[in-house]
Amino acid sequence: MAPSTRIFGEACRVLMAAAKSSTSSTSPATAAAPKKGILKSVPVSPALGKFLGASEASRTDAVKKVWEHIKAHNLQNPTNKKEINCDEKLKAIFNGRDKVGFLEIAKLLSQHFQKAA
């Protein structure tokens, strides 16, 4: 039994090394692929642009920046973590609402993005 495990063990190491080296290299075609969907940067409304500091952003980046602001200014309701207490900056992009649910953030941000033609 020992000789067969030695053969399979060596074969597995060779195959695993080959697989690891082939997946770690990326082809130039995949590295330069254009971003699509929610990862694509699109023009945003002036209010959201002022909040983000950019005239274009992807939806994921916008949500990340909003959450960074919420965490940095401790705006989550301590008793109900699903609720966000809006400061003046967030009120400007969330239609003047004092409180929003964390599941509403993406929905409220969607109005600030241009629709695809």
115 found inside a domain: no
Are residues 59 and 17 part of one domain? no
The answer on 93 and 46 residing in a single domain is: yes
**35 token code pair:** 């971003």
What pLDDT is attached to residue 102?
Answer: 87
Mean pLDDT of 34-47: 87
- Give the pLDDT score at 15: 63
- The answer on pLDDT for 111 being more than 70 is yes
Any bridge partners for residue 99, and if so which? Answer: 85
Three-state SS for 115? Answer: coil
**CATH value at residue 86:** 1.10.245.10
Please indicate, yes or no, whether residues 54 and 17 belong to a single structural domain of this protein: no
**How far out from the chain centre does Cα 23 lie?**
23
Out of 13-17, 42-46, 58-62, least confident range: 13-17
Are residues 66 and 93 part of one domain?
yes
Number of structural domains in the chain: 2
The reply to whether 77 and 56 lie within a common domain is: yes
Report yes or no on 14 lying in a domain: yes
Angstrom CA distances, 50 to 62, 69, 73, 112, stand at 12, 13, 18, 12
**Which pLDDT value is given to residue 43?**
92
The answer for residues whose C-beta is within 8 angstroms of residue 59's C-beta and 6 or more apart is 38, 39, 106, 109, 110, 113
Whole-angstrom distance, CA of residue 91 vs CA of residue 87: 6
Residue 26 lies in domain:
2-31
pLDDT at 27 over 80: no
In-domain check, residue 6: yes
Q: Indicate yes or no: pTM above 0.85.
A: no
